[in-house]
Structure 1
Amino acid sequence: MYADALTLENARSLLGLTGPVGAEGLTLAFRAAVKAARPDAPGGDAETFRRVIVAYRLLQAQTLALPAPAGHARPKPFTPPPPPAPLLVLTPMQAISGGCVRMVVGARTLLVHGPPGVRTGDKIRLKGGGPNGADALLPVLIRPADGLSVLGGDLFMTWAVPQRMMDDGGRIEIMTHAGLRSSWLVPDMVEPVRLRLKGLGLPARGQRPAGDLFVKLEASADLPSAAEDLLLRFTRVWTPQRIAA
C-alpha cells in the first residue's frame, strides 16, 4: 500500500480525525489508531494496520501546510540566539593604569582600550563593532597576573617576611605596584596576617571610589632579618673600592 493510494480525507478518517490538527495532535491520533489496528488486538487486522501507518506518513508530510487548531497559535520557528560578545580580558596592572588589548571581534582584529579603574563585569562600548555596524558592548574580565588578583575594586597580593619579624614585630617594607610601602608589625601576630593599604586598589572610576590593597604576609625562614637586610644594603653600597676612593 503506497501513500498515493490514499487521499487526505481517507487518511484523516483512518486516524479518526475530523478536522485539521497540529503535529502533536496527529501523533496522538496515530498512536490510538495503530494500537487499535494491531493484528493481535481484538478487531484489528494486518491490512488496516498497514493503512494506518501509510495514512500517518501522508498526513505527517502535510502537517506544516495544515492550519493550526482554533485557539492554538502555530509555534514560531526556532531562532538561535546571537553569539555572546567576546570578553575583554585584562591583567590587574592594565586595570590599574589602563591598557590596550588586541582581540578578534567578528571577522576583524581590533586594538581595544581598557580605561583605568575598570572592574570585572563592566562593559566597554566598541563603536561599530557589532553586527551591521552597530555598537558592541564588551564584558570585562580581570584575571590574576603578576602576583595580583582583583575582587571588585580591591587588589590582593602576598608578601614574604622573615619569621623573626613575625615573632618580634617591627617595621617592614612591601614592594607594591605603587612603589615601596612600609608598615609596622606588633609582636606575636597570629597567622594569617593581612594588611590593608588604603587607596592602593583599582583607581576611582565614575561614582566608585578607589579600592584598597590587601597584603597577606607569609613567614619565611629563608629571608634575612631587618638588621641583616640593612647590613647587606650597607655592604653593597660601601664596597672596598668605594671606601678606598
Structure 2
Amino acid sequence: MAARSLDMTLKDARKLLRVAAHASPAEVRRAFREAAKQAHPDRAGGDAERFRRVVAAYHLLQDAPVARDPFFQPPAPAAPRLGVLAIGPKLALHGGAVEHRLADGRTIRINLPAGLRSGDAVRAGDAELAVQVQGDGDMLVRGDDLWMTVKVAPRMLAEGGRLAVETPLGRRIVWVTKKAGERGLVRLVGQGLPARGRHAQGHLFVRLAPKTAGETQSAARTLLRRFAAAWAA
C-alpha cells in the first residue's frame, strides 16, 4: 500500500536500493538494510521521506519477480564418467585384442583399432572407456609420435654412419649424420602412430645414447661369438 501511495515503479525501487533486476531476495535484503541505515531519520544526514521511500521500495521488490541474469551461464551437464583403458605404445600403434575388467567385475575382450591416442574413447559393450597410452620402458608416446632410445658406440655419435634400428615396424636402416650425432636424435618420418580421425600421421624419434665402455666390450664379444659360430658352421 505504501509503495502505491508513493507511486513508485519497479525501476524506481531498484534504483533507490541500487540493485539489478536479477538481484536475488538475499541481495535485495542486504541492499535494503544498508539503504535504511543511511536514510534513517535518527542518523546524521538521514531523512524521514527518503526512509519511507526505501521501505516502500523494499516492499515493492519483495513481491516482484526476479529477472533472469543475461550473463548467467547455466552449468554444463555433467559428462558421463568414463572408465580408463591403459594400453602400451605397441598396442596403440598396431591395435589388437585386449582384456579389460569393468567396474562391475566383468572381464571383457576388446578389439582395438590401430592408431589410438590418449583421450580417445572406445566402446566396450555398454561401457565407454577413455584410452590412456602409457610408456613401457622401451618406448613412449608423445602426441602422434613414438620415442625410443638406442645405445650406440661413441664413435657413431662423433663421426656418424649407418645404423640398424629395431623399431616396432621392423628393422630400419638409419644414416646418422654428424649433426644428428651431436644432437643425439634421429627422426624417422611417418614411422609413428598412423593417422586416425582428427589425428595426423606421427613420426618415430630415436634418441641416440652412448654406450659405456662395458657395453661396447660386451657388444664386441657378442659379434665375435657370432662370427666364430658362423665360421665353425
- Structure 2 residue 223 is the aligned partner of structure 1 residue 220: no
Q: Is the 8 A contact 1:198 1:213 kept in 2?
A: yes
TM-score by length of 1: 0.58
Q: Which residue number in structure 1 is paired with residue 32 of structure 2?
A: 29
Instruction: Choose which of 81, 98, 101 in structure 2 pairs with 1:100.
Output: 98
What is the CA-CA distance between 1:155 and the residue it aligns to?
Answer: 1.0
Aligned positions of 1:95-244 closer than 5 A:
95-98=92-95, 99-100=97-98, 102=100, 104=102, 111=108, 113-126=111-124, 128-129=126-127, 136=128, 138-186=129-177, 190-205=181-196, 210-222=201-213, 223-224=215-216, 229-235=219-225, 238=228
Match of 2:78 in 1: 82
Offset, 1:220: 2.8
C-alpha displacement of 1:80: 7.0
Q: Tell me, in whole angstroms, the C-alpha distance in 2 between the residues paired with 1:93 and 1:160.
A: 20
Gap change, CA 1:30 and 1:191, over 3 Å in 2 = same
Are the aligned partners of 1:90 and 1:101 in contact in 2 as well (CA < 8 Å)?
A: no
Q: Report the Cα offset of residue 116 of structure 1.
A: 1.6
SS at match of 2:216: coil
Task: Output one character per residue of 1:26-75: Cα deviation in whole Å (capped at 9) or x when no partner.
Answer: 4322320133339654559xxx9xxx8xxx8xx8xx96xx4515xx2489
Q: 1:84 to 1:235 in 2, by over 3 A?
A: same
Q: Which segments of 5 or more consecutive residues in structure 1 lack a partner in the other structure?
A: 1-8, 130-135
Supply the AA of the counterpart residue of 1:33: A
How far did residue 233 of structure 1 move?
3.0
Q: Secondary structure at the match of 2:208?
A: strand
1:167–1:189 Cα contact (<8 Å) kept: no
Partners of 1:77 and 1:104 in 2: how far apart? 35
Cα root mean square deviation, aligned? 4.6
The alpha-carbon deviation at position 156 of structure 1 amounts to 1.3
- In structure 2, the residue matched to 1:132 is none
Identity %: 28
Note if contact 1:120-1:142 (Cα within 8 Å) is conserved in structure 2: yes
Deviation at 1:162, TM superposition (A): 1.1
TM-score, normalization by structure 2: 0.60
